[in-house]
Structure 1
């Protein structure tokens, strides 16, 4: 009887998403991510965006993974500074549990995107497009860059407006905490 009680208690606690992936926001702020603001878990929209071949995607494609979603543009100077750190974060921590998803928002032509990414030596980030800014508008993106942390269930849990060093130890620790079982 006691063994079953222990087993069911462990299953309940282990399956509780509110207890999984607890993030120490104070430590993240103290370590250099002062602009990373936790949000009440809010479902992200299923608005379509495309890849360069025109195939439609939505954020639901990444459900089950923690996602760091970045809205950027080729004309955005802070984006140029930030993208290599996003690329480094994806290279180091990207995989089955986590992915950096970057979406070029607004009128960003593919040759300009490829030139932009080539000039800053970004190799491991997807090229995804939101030319009419539908997803950006639905997510309240008013300027760029904006980065949104999304949990496995497809809820926004934090947002950072402006650039950040996503290859920093503080950023990596936030991702490790967000992906913890």
Structure 2
């Protein structure tokens, strides 16, 4: 009997966990995120290292346990210039213990140019992370810019958006709220 109760309890907890963080992808599409495509929950946590301007090394696993919006961009990318302020606004509003916008400048992007880019676009809340040899971008199948990849707490890619988007829109915020729901 005790064994049955334990099994039933485990199944209920597992079922409730499975339903947390469900995203209404069609609603997001209809509300303006037409380019956001759900992924097959493929593991996204790569062992590929990337850096920061101070020479520190990072991996995507640094954000495991949080929902992360990983954005690949470059200083020369015009759509990135349009998109970056909305990523900054999203981080400002929803960033914290459960969610983080992780911006990674891929390719040749001098730190001085990144600082200039952030100043010109009014970005104040995003990290400066670098993938100068595009090793992380290649390992994640990034072939153009910008590309944004939504990663769940377990390190799985749940959606990808090719091109720019308004990440400060109600539709984007709703997706993030759904992903971080407990």
CA RMSD of aligned residues (A): 1.5
Deviation at 1:56, TM superposition (A): 0.5
Work out the CA distance in 1 between the residues paired with 2:155 and 2:112: 31
**Normalising to structure 2: TM-score of the pair?**
0.93
**Per the alignment, in what secondary structure is the counterpart of residue 123 of structure 1?**
coil
Alignment match, 1:25: 25
Pairing of 1:77-92 with structure 2 (within 5 A)? 77-92=78-93
**Normalising to structure 1: TM-score of the pair?**
0.94
Q: Where do 5+ consecutive residues of structure 2 fail to align?
A: none
Work out the CA distance in 2 between the residues paired with 1:43 and 1:37: 16
Deviation at 1:13, TM superposition (A): 2.7
Pairing of 1:152-171 with structure 2 (within 5 A)? 152-171=153-172
Work out the CA distance in 2 between the residues paired with 1:20 and 1:166: 22
2:103 maps to 1:102: yes
Q: Where do 5+ consecutive residues of structure 1 fail to align?
A: none
Alignment match, 2:35: 35
Runs (4 or more) in structure 1 with deviation over 2 Å come to: 4-14
Deviation at 1:46, TM superposition (A): 1.9
**Per the alignment, in what secondary structure is the counterpart of residue 39 of structure 1?**
strand
Q: Which range moves more in the overlay, 5-14 or 95-104? A: 5-14
